[in-house]
A and B are shown apart, each in its own frame.
Chain A
Amino acid sequence: MNTELPGIIATYLLTLVIAIPLGKYLAKVFAGEQVWTDFLKPIESGIFKLSGINPKEEMNWKQHMKALLSINMVWLVYGFFVLIYQDKLPLNPDGNPGMAPDLSFNTIISFVVNCNLQHYSGESGVSYLTQHFVLMFLQFVSCATGIAAAVVLFKAFRDKTSAKLGNFWDFFVKSITRLLLPLSLVIALILAFNGTPTSYEGKDQFISVQGDTVNVSRGPAAGFIAIKHLGTNGGGWFGVNSAHPLENPSYLTAMVELIAQVIIPIAMVIAFGYFIRRKKLAWMIFGVMTIGMLLLMIPTLISELGGSPAIEKMGISQATGAMEGKEMRFGPALSAYWSTVTTIISTGSVNSMHDSTMPLTGLWQLLGMMINSFYGGCGVGILNYFIYLIIAVFISGLMVGRTPEFLGHKVEAREIKIAALVTLLSPFLILSGTAIASYVFTNNGEAAWAVQPQNWLNNPGFHGFSEMLYEMTSSNANNGSGFEGLGDNNVFWNVATGFVLILGRFLPIIAPIAIAGLLGAKKYIPESAGTLKTDTVTFSLMTFVVILVLNALSYFPALALGPLAEYFTMLK
């Protein structure tokens, strides 16, 4: 206990020490100002030349979205076929089979959209070729897609009036060369030094001390695990993700993986402020996000460190907290911290099994994913937050009786409609998805799918409902963690979450870019005494309230049926 709490405080402080300068650096990179990494320019020019791209060609917001969607479509088609035919392709030392079409459909969407929901297990479900040339590749580029999209939004507010918003390929490639690749290399080497495998050798076999024959899955995992965290992807090399001792060998690597997943989301907020020359706004946003994070994390820590009430009754010592599904080398405190971080930003990597956490912890995990913008995923966190900002501007404008404005641009009916629609999209996908799943579970239990609906749930009662709610929430949030007891590798879950994933990714990217593009092209209105200021504490509070009210209204009934009901039954 006394060494576990300092561990998480140190982790968070180190995160800030890296993330804040990184944000300032990113603002300069994307503004095209001089930075120390400019020695990489020749590599970038080479990439552009080979791809037939002119990085100086300016695009408007629609062209940006066309470029974004084109390249994502290419990845979807390419990956789908590699997954199906991986057994016939090289680099498959363990002889793993090709994927069924429904599983391939789900997996490829899941990785393209930066979610990394995994209905397969890394040890037996994919080849090394798939791991590197599809999954790890997508971990890099899906994160870069999110960052590039966010930069398009930044660009719309940098100058007074501008329909020209830079070049998508330029932002996209620079995200990789100036940020993701160099940092991943450093992180991968730290992991390798601590014992994560890097070589291409297949499974190993040995005789254990007691004489059992043991097979050990291995593979070149270190590079994969680095970008999995840095890019808020979260998909594991091994089935149990970062709980696996080779994927996350020690407390030190756990700290590194935790820091890696939070630095870009925080840096993007700082970069926003520096890029549009409104630093105070960035710090206000950062403040709201941090308070939001703490409000989810502190109760999570309390519920996990308190241990399981049921095991308490058996008279067992839970000196450090609840241990089911947790690894000894991390302990409950760091695991609780991790479960908060991985759900508020959209990583979804896990170092403990969320299905086995306490009922209230599950509640905070779900809520973190539903809000999805307390820091949020790579690039998309700030985009999600932007939607809340627009709604807050609108409501505040109505309250004080002024035309709503954001950063000198009038916010009018069209923008508000887009923001409102995308705000409603999340509850629609999550709740109707869970409702349909519950219906199928109850009324169609005998369906002849790979896992029969009646066998979907690993736990009875309210917790079982939470398993389905979690899966839909995680898909919509592009998070990728799961209550993994759910029997999800069958046609229903593969297809249903596939659609939720793709809608939950692209609409929430296109909507804020569209709003920003529309706003940016409008005439700039200089600030006056009558302007609603968005970089004040009052307005930040307003935004915070908007976030809470919207999410509470949307999700309280579902949360009451799942984790809250389980919590109260355990009190008895």
Chain B
Amino acid sequence: MKKYLLQSIRLTVVLMLLLCVIYPLMVAFGGSFFKGNGGGEKLFKNGKVAGYALIGQSFTKPEYFWGRPSAVDYNAAGSGGSNKGPSNPDYLVVVSARIDTLLKYHPYLKKADIPADMVTASGSGLDPNISEQGAIMQIKRVAANRGLTDRAVAELVVKNTVGPLLGMFGPSVVNVLKLNLALDELRK
């Protein structure tokens, strides 16, 4: 047993050098050549960092497209989901209230026009995306608040919709931050 213990300690130290020093440094070296240089891809507005492409942020003003509800208010230093079970009565009240809020700000909508992603909290609380339908249902409101035509806003939505992987796999999504930055560009 003593022999094995001694070998264990030495092997642990040697492997640590390989797995905890050499390996992550190789990955860090590779990562430094990619988008964002290994620190996460940033998006800019007027030359200033306006956010991270992959991290959703809170949009509440009427002239912006809104993202999904977040259980952590888009706190990117502490992610989290709601962890509410499907039968939880308090949770169902919250969802119901979200529907009412959406209907209040989008009086032209029917309930069936609202997709589930717009009234349910995402897993991370930082979901950067909404569904295509989630963006389409907001077009009229955003256009009215910006004095733009519905068509101009709709075109931006189409431009910012990313289809399935290779056109075949997975859902179509709209990155809310990118779409809103594009909207702000349009105003200039």
Contacts and interface: CB of A to CB of B under 8 A. Distances in A.
Contacts of A329: 127, 129, 170-171, 173
Interface in B1-18: 1, 4-12, 14-16, 18
A245 interface: yes
B130 interface: yes
B85 A310 contact: no
B76 A214 contact: yes
B96 A249 contact: no
Interface string B41-72: 11001001111111111111100100010000
Interface in B153-185: 164-165, 168-173, 177, 180-181, 184
Interface stretch (A67-75, A99-107, A265-273): A67-75
B50 A327 contact: no
Nearest to A72: B8
Interface residues of B, number: 104
A500 B38 CA distance: 38
B86 A217 contact: no
A367 interface: no
Contacts of A460: 88-89
A245 B126 contact: yes
B144 interface: no
Interface stretch (A187-195, A371-379, A391-399, A553-561): A187-195
Interface in B68-105: 68, 74-89, 91-92, 95-96, 99
Interface in A360-380: none
**Most chain B CB within a 10 A radius of its CB, from A51, A52, A249, A566:** A51
Contacts of B64: 209-210
Contacts of B124: 238, 240, 243-245, 327
A416 interface: no
B111 interface: yes
B154 to A, nearest CB: 19
A141 B15 contact: yes
Contact of B31 (A197, A307, A327, A459): A197
Contact of B169 (A7, A53, A75, A184): A7
Contact of B117 (A328, A356, A485): A328
Interface stretch (A22-30, A148-156, A311-319, A523-531): A311-319
Contacts of B75: 214-215
A319 B117 CA distance: 10
Interface of B: 1, 4-12, 14-16, 18-20, 23-24, 26-28, 30-32, 34-42, 45, 48-61, 64, 68, 74-89, 91-92, 95-96, 99, 111-117, 119-131, 133, 164-165, 168-173, 177, 180-181, 184
24 contacts: A3-B172, A7-B164, A53-B7, A70-B1, A124-B78, A136-B20, A169-B11, A184-B23, A185-B26, A188-B30, A192-B31, A197-B36, A199-B28, A216-B40, A240-B79, A245-B126, A320-B171, A327-B129, A328-B117, A329-B171, A356-B83, A356-B84, A459-B91, A566-B87
| Among all A-B residue pairs, the 10 with the closest Cβ atoms | A198-B31, A243-B123, A485-B83, A7-B169, A463-B85, A353-B81, A71-B8, A315-B111, A251-B170, A192-B31
